[in-house]
């Protein structure tokens, strides 16, 4: 699965969850008072929270990858003798960063690498 497909799936799921939460919120006046209204209100809140979180993660991951490709990877600024790119590629959290940014262990775009090695 490519990065674009992952991002698209995350954003679509976020929009669906927001729509689900909003739809439940619109049904709330027709339920009346009682336990059903409380359950519907909580489900609406959870749906909207999940949708907002998925949209935030989807856009945040896309923007972070854009920052990696255009600035972080090429930066020569150092902190304690290591660049930020070196910390992300060789640090303790490097497996997470490689998945989050969808890059190879050398810092290249994984989608472009797959196309170049498997035409």
Instruction: Give the pLDDT score at 115.
Output: 64
Q: Residue 81's domain spans which residues?
A: 3-117
pTM over 0.75: yes
Distance CA 40, CA 32 (A): 11
Number of structural domains (the chain) is: 1
pLDDT, one tens digit per residue, over 22-33 is: 999 999 888 888
Instruction: Give the pLDDT score at 119.
Output: 60
Instruction: Give the pLDDT score at 28.
Output: 87
Give the bridge partners for 35, in sequence order: none
């Amino acid at each position: 699965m490519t990065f674009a497909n992952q991002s698209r799936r995350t954003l679509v799921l976020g929009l669906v969850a927001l729509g689900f939460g909003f739809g439940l919120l619109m049904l709330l006046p027709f339920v009346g008072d009682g336990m059903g209204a409380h359950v519907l209100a909580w489900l609406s809140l959870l749906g909207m929270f999940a949708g907002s979180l998925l949209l935030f993660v989807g856009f945040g991951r896309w923007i972070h990858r854009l920052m990696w490709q255009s600035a972080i990877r090429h930066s020569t600024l150092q902190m304690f003798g290591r660049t930020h790119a070196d910390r992300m590629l060789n640090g303790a959290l490097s497996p997470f960063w490689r998945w989050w940014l969808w890059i190879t262990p050398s810092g290249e775009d994984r989608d472009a690498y797959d196309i170049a090695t498997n035409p």
